Chains A and B, each alone.
Chain A
Amino acid sequence: MTTKYSKLVDVTRCDGCRACMVMCKNWNDLPVEPEEFKGSYQSHDKCGANTWNVLTFTEHETENGGFEWLFRHSACMHCTDAACVKVCPEDAMHYTEFGTVNTNYDKCVGCGYCVQNCPFGIVQLTTLVDEKGKEYEQAQKCTMCVDRLQEGMKPACVEVCHMDALVYGDKADMVALAEERLAKVKDRYPNANIYNPIGVDGTQTFYLLADKPSVYGLPENPKVPTSATVWKDYAQPLGKAMLGVTTMAVIGGFISNKLFNKQGEEGGNHDE
């Protein structure tokens, strides 16, 4: 993979219209999921199995006591070092040719390891029914509209954004654009920053945020959970090695017994 493609979310341009949410539901044929009114303009708590994209409305008090809305388009971050890909035992979670993260639904068995390890809490399981009427579970999340990307189109949410708060293109170009924009908004938002966390080697959905990540409900230093690293990078390979070491010891013991122990105390070894 040479070129990575990214979606830059410039929250300082967002006006909270939610067209991206609607377009996402439309393009991906996702069922409506009504939620109760909880005293906020925000329609859904967070991304879910059938809502891959939620516009968050954060009510924020500024340092001088003023009030402001902080809007954020939230969806799968498409991590470069993705915990879901790391822990998936079926290789259902994988990297696409665009550097994004996708689910292969034919391989997914709904084990939920990705759900438990996603540092952003994005992946969720949905319950589906097969042709025999049997229920089964499957991991669901934003696909960055990979079917559109393959046709040379932009993701649906980017296509519809009328404020250019969502921009899609080469990651290098997007980073340059983010830096250019950051310089422009620094006067208005002194805490502004680019959120492309290094704990997961950067993300393909990355942000120009007007305030600290935690203000937007994003983890300050997201990383692949230590337990997942211990599991996949150490325990599993070491386990395979240990299997080898004991097997070698046993084979060694068997051979040396054959060679040196000619008394044959109890007769054959294998006639048990």
Chain B
Amino acid sequence: MSSRQQTVKRFSKWVIIAHWTNALAFFALYITALPLYTDFFSWMYPIFGGPENLRLLHRIFAVIFVLPPLVMLIVDPKSLFHWLKQTLTWRKEDIQFFVKFPKEFFGGHVKDMPKQDFFNAGEKLNSLLTITCAILLIGSGIVMWMPELFPLALIQWAYPLHNIAFGLSVAVVVGHIYLSLGHPGSKASMQGMTKGDVPVKYAKEHHGKWYDELVAKGEIKEEKPVKKGKGA
């Protein structure tokens, strides 16, 4: 990899803060949930000072988990709504993405991937599942936290829903982390979520439509075809 690459801004400071706060809270919730989920993890109780303390911690992290979208609404609504709009917009290219994606996932190289948005179809699916799980988890969590405010049937259903959303969200997160850390070609996306910018080459390969827009706006110079030399 050459040391000097043309980069382009991808995420605002607030998006990065919100993402990592959410991630941190999610893991804290995940860990404090394990002993509540299965006896296999009961050995964790003493570490957290008993079941009561663990439950208290779970609720504290729950509040932190709920905060990022609310804070984003105030400090950076533009990024928040851009993300939501993209997540909810599905086109033909997004569906085609999933036909080609398995090959890419298991190490192949897909050359004719249809041009993707600022968020590619995989990221859109990840966002959609994350939002669904978060709504289910937060909604059922509130019912479980304050059962006296809700009818009995709702309270009884809150538990299985919390469970289902938990299982689904962990599955989503495992995939999300793998694709950002474990999969080759992930460094650039990680840079996007840590420093806020990504190499133009990465933008071109993974977010073709967004790249075209940037070029059209004159924000970046068009990347030369990579074929000429090896060290892109």
Contacts and interface: CB of A to CB of B under 8 A. Distances in A.
B164 A239 contact: yes
Given A236-B37, A253-B182, A259-B107, A242 B168 contact: yes
Interface string A258-272: 011101111101101
A266 B186 contact: yes
A256 interface: yes
A266 B1 contact: yes
Nearest to B148: A112
Interface string A41-82: 000000000000000000000000000000000000000000
A267 B187 CA distance: 9
Contacts of B170: 239, 242-243, 246
A136 interface: yes
B106 interface: yes
Nearest to B177: A250
Given A90-B51, A109-B55, A235 B160 contact: yes
A163 interface: no
- Which bucket holds chain B's interface residue count? 35 or more
A235 B164 CA distance: 6
Contacts of A260: 106-108
B178 interface: yes
Given A257-B106, A265-B184, 18 more contacts: A109-B51, A111-B55, A227-B157, A228-B156, A231-B159, A236-B38, A245-B171, A246-B170, A246-B171, A247-B174, A250-B178, A257-B107, A261-B107, A261-B108, A261-B109, A266-B185, A266-B188, A269-B183
A250 B177 CA distance: 10
The 7 closest A-B pairs by CB, nearest first: A239-B167, A231-B160, A261-B107, A227-B156, A235-B163, A257-B107, A250-B178
16 contacts: A91-B39, A227-B159, A227-B160, A230-B160, A236-B37, A239-B37, A250-B174, A250-B178, A256-B106, A257-B182, A260-B107, A263-B109, A266-B184, A266-B186, A269-B186, A272-B181
Given A243-B167, A260-B108, A253 B183 contact: yes
A169 interface: no
A236 B163 contact: yes
B33 to A, nearest CB: 11
B167 A116 contact: no
Contacts of A117: 156
A113 B51 contact: no
B36 interface: yes
A136 B52 contact: yes
Contacts of A245: 171
B137 interface: no
B185 A265 contact: yes
B157 to A, nearest CB: 5
B139 interface: no
B155 interface: yes
Contacts of B188: 266
Interface in A201-251: 225, 227-228, 230-231, 234-236, 238-240, 242-243, 245-247, 249-250
Contacts of A230: 160
Contacts of A235: 160, 163-164, 167
Interface string B103-139: 0011111000000000000000000000000000000
B182 A269 contact: yes
B74 interface: no
A144 interface: no
Given A228-B156, A250-B182, A267 B1 contact: yes
A249 B186 contact: no
B77 interface: no
A242 B171 contact: yes
A194 interface: no
A93 to B, nearest CB: 14
B187 A272 contact: yes
A231 B163 contact: yes
A178 to B, nearest CB: 31
